[in-house]
Amino acid sequence: MKKIDIRIPAKEYPVFIGANIFDSLEKIIRIKKLSRNLFMIIDRKVMNLYRDDIKRFSSNFSGKIFINEFDASEANKSYLELAKIYNDLIAIGYGRDSLIVAIGGGITGDIAGFAASTFARGIQFVQVPTTLLAAVDSSVGGKTGINFGETKNIIGAFHQPEFVLIDTEFLKTLPEEEIICGIGEIVKYAFLSDKKFFELLKNNFHKLLELDSTFTTRAIETCIKFKGDVVAKDEKESGLRKILNLGHTFAHAIEVEQNYLIKHGQAVVVGLACALELSRRTGLLSEKLFTQYLQLPFMFKDKITLNAFDPLQIYEIMKRDKKGRENRIKFVLLKEIGRLIVDVEAEKDEVIYCLNKSLALFIK
């Protein structure tokens, strides 16, 4: 079992990574002296696949335990579902001294984390990510939230977990589409971190697709260490942390325009292609590096399929994005791997051009 420490000034916490480590959950809760009033929010799909493991945990746990099965979907990352969680917490008489454990992907972690951050002005919270995307990205860093109306993640809070437990066994039952999503986010870290990791990923892409245990653990570790360092320096995203949004301004809008028929991690890959194109068009990125860098998103060509799209609508959705200040869209662009520029504004025509060109790569 590997351990990475996330050193945020207000709160340090460990991330544990390993195969078959779910059974350590009880022990870690005990050692860290967390509340023994457990409220588990579990993606129903995960519950159905790992019912025996979860039952074993809950029957061995000496404390109160309540299980809330959650049908994870963007539509259910809503106030309506949040209210059900609040209702359950109140009905069973839980108060400030309780601990929410989220077992599932990014959506489950986001809504569970937001419930933890707002119930009784903040209770303890543990993340057990079961998707590759949640493992490499959303389970660490404390971003929590729900969607509101048409706007993704607009209601939320920063609320760091007590610890994160990543058991790679959960990944084995993921459909390929979900693995692609996780790899999409890993590719983002390739552009953020260094050339070595970029090359490593390019040359071992198939190992990730096959979930080769050693390579997957190594990739997860690299991403989390990188993210942990960034978040430790800028928890609330007032500066440096913005680099983690590389490709995401595009991705969020593409997801909405495509009516969520494309998944977040897939949209990130398309968004990365857009960000590379815009970096080239604005002269930040050389033609040579652009061609070289695009190879990585291009490896997903057969794994991601977009429907017909309306670039103008995508542009309008981006304008409404919460990151926009004074209605101007700010992009994260790159000069080369590891050298990011944040808060770049761009001409509407240029953005439309990049959308048309990059999205075309993923139209069959």
Catalytic positions: 121, 143, 185, 227, 237, 241, 245, 248, 252, 264
Q: Which stretch binds a second copy (CB under 8 A): 67-75, 91-99, 206-214, 275-283?
A: 91-99
Q: 274 phi and psi, to 5 degrees? A: -65, -45
Query: Judged by CB under 8 A, which of 33, 121, 288, 364 binds a second copy?
Result: 121
What SS3 class is residue 80? Answer: helix
CA distance 133 to 150: 23
Q: Which of 90, 261, 360, 363 binds a second copy (CB under 8 A)?
A: 90
Among 105, 145, 228, 265, binds a second copy (CB under 8 A): 145
Contact between 117 and a second copy by CB under 8 A: the answer reads yes
Stretch that binds a second copy, among 13-21, 95-103, 167-175, 220-228 (CB under 8 A): 95-103
Q: Which is nearer to a second copy, 158 or 315 (CB)?
A: 158
With 0-12 CB in 10 A as exposed, 13-18 as middle and 19+ as buried, what is 303?
middle
Asked if residue 215 binds a second copy (CB under 8 A), the reply is no
User: Which two three-digit tokens encode residue 145?
Assistant: 């939230």
Q: How many residues bind a second copy (CB under 8 A)?
A: 37
Is residue 360 exposed (0-12), middle (13-18) or buried (19+ Cβ within 10 Å)?
Answer: exposed
* CB 74 to a second copy: min, Å: 17
User: Smallest distance from the beta carbon of 142 to a second copy, in angstroms?
Assistant: 9
Question: At a CB cut-off of 8 Å and minimum separation 6, what does 87 contact?
Answer: none
Question: Interaction with a second copy in 228-287: which residues (CB under 8 A)?
Answer: 236-237
Q: Give residues 32-51 in contact with a second copy (rule: CB under 8 A).
A: 37
CA dihedral 208, 209, 214, 220 (to 10 degrees): 40
Q: Contact region for a second copy (CB under 8 A) — 89-97, 210-218, 248-256, 265-273?
A: 89-97
From residue 298, alpha-carbon distances to 249, 293, 362 in Å are 19, 9, 9
Site membership for a second copy, residue 93 (CB under 8 A): yes
Among 31, 75, 83, 360, binds a second copy (CB under 8 A): 83
Q: Which residue lies nearer to a second copy by CB, 119 or 293?
A: 119
- Residue partners of 320: CB distance under 8 A and separation at least 6: 151
Contacting residues for 276 by C-beta, under 8 A, at least 6 apart: 285, 290, 293, 294, 297, 334, 358
| Among the residue ranges 17-25, 128-136, 318-326, 335-343, the one whose residues contact a second copy (CB under 8 A) | 318-326
Q: Which of 65, 154, 200, 289 binds a second copy (CB under 8 A)?
A: 154
Minimum distance from residue 260 beta carbon to a second copy (Å): 19
Do 357 and 275 contact (CB within 8 A), yes or no? no
Among positions 51-80, residues that touch a second copy (CB under 8 A) are 79
Single out the segment in contact with a second copy by CB under 8 A; choices: 115-123, 131-139, 215-223, 337-345: 115-123
Q: Which of residues 156-195 bind a second copy (CB under 8 A)?
A: 156-158
Kindly state the helix (H) or strand (E) to which residue 38 belongs, with its residue range: strand 37-43
Residue 332: half-sphere exposure toward Cβ, Cα within 13 Å:
24
Nearest Cα neighbor of 14 from 126, 158, 101, 106 is: 126
CB of 322 to a second copy, least distance (A): 5
- CB-neighbour burial class of residue 129 (10 A; exposed 0-12, middle 13-18, buried 19+): buried
Closest CB 223 distance from a second copy, rounded Å: 21
Beta pairing partners, 358? none
- Least distance between a second copy and beta carbon 76 (Å): 17
Residues that bind a second copy (CB under 8 A): 10, 37, 79, 83, 86-87, 90, 93, 95-97, 117-122, 143, 145, 148-149, 151, 154-158, 236-237, 320-327
